[in-house]
Amino acid sequence: MLEAYRQAPDLYPIQEPNKMPIILSEALYGIEWMEKMQRQDGAVYRKLSGAAWPAKIPPWLDSQVRYVYGVSTSDTAKFVATMAFAARTYQPFDKALAERFLKASSLAWAYLESQPEQYIDWQKEDDTGSGPYILNQYDKEESLATDLDDRLWAAAELYVTTRDAKYLDFSQQAYDDLVGQSIDMLDFFEWKNPAVMGVWHLILTLDSPFIDTMKSDLRAVANRYAKLAEPSPFLLLTNALYGVPTKWC
C-alpha cells in the first residue's frame, strides 16, 4: 500500500479524519499493529496466532487466545524496511508519527547489527496453529536459507529515508554478496524474498554506476520471466484479444 501511494499519490486525495490519503490511513492500521510485535531490544516476533488451526468459521468467531512466537532476524529486517519506508511516507502528514516509525526502525537495525548471522527462534510446537513461514518441506526457496535479502531491503530503505552513507555501504555489499551467489536471488517482491523493493528504491534514488549494475540485473530477471511466459496459453489469449504480437520486443 505504501508503494502504491509512492507510485501514484495523485490517485489518493487527502481525507478526514486523519488528514492524510485514505490509503495511508488504511495502511496505518497494519503498521501500528507491527509496532506491537517489536521487543524492547529491537527484535521483532515472527508471528501471532492461536495455538490450533481454527475451525471452518468466520474470523470473528475464532475467539481462541493468540500467542506471539519467537523472534527472527529475517522478520526484524522486514520490520526495519517497512518502518523506514513508512517514516518518509508519513512525514508530510504527521512528523511525530514519522519520527516514531524511524526510531523503531533504527532500534530494530541495532538488533540486527548485534546478530550478524541469520537467527530464527523456532520450535516444532510453533506451527500447530499457523504455517512455519520459514524454510520447510513446502517453502524451499533459496532465499529462505539466508536473511541477506531482508537485510538488503532494510538497509536500502534506511538509506533512502536518512541518506546515511553507512546504510548505502551495507546495501551495496549485501547486493554483491546476494546477487553474486545467483541472479535468481533477485525475484518477485514477497515475504520470502523482498530484496527487489530495496533495489528498486535505490535505483530511483541514486546517481552512481551502481545503478547500471542493478538495472542490468533486473532486466535479466524480467527477460527470464518474459521468456517463460511466451508459451503460456494465457499470454497467447491476451495477445489475441488486444492484437498484440506474440513475439516479445
At residue 42, φ and ψ (nearest 5 deg) are 105, -25
Compute the average pLDDT of residues 153-177: 97
Give the span between the Cα atoms of 181 and 28, in whole angstroms: 36
At residue 111, φ and ψ (nearest 5 deg) are -65, -45
How far is residue 43 from each of residues 73, 149, 229, measured CA to CA in Å? 7, 17, 40
> Confidence class of residue 3 from pLDDT cuts 50, 70 and 90?
very high
Compute the average pLDDT of residues 199-212: 95
pLDDT at 248 over 50: no
Compute the average pLDDT of residues 103-107: 98
pLDDT at 228 over 60: yes
- Domains of the chain with CATH codes: 2-206 (1.50.10.10)
Q: Provide, rounded to the nearest whole percent, the portion of the chain with pLDDT above 70.
A: 94
Nearest to 42 by CA among 102, 110, 98: 110
Helix, strand, or coil here: 21? Answer: strand
Query: CA angle, 84 as apex, 15 and 23 as ends, to 5°?
Result: 20
Would you mind telling me the total number of residues written for the chain in this entry? 249
Give the span between the Cα atoms of 89 and 101, in whole angstroms: 10
Q: Provide, rounded to the nearest whole percent, the portion of the chain with pLDDT above 90.
A: 83
| pLDDT for the residue 80 | 98
| pLDDT for the residue 244 | 55
pLDDT at 16 over 90: no
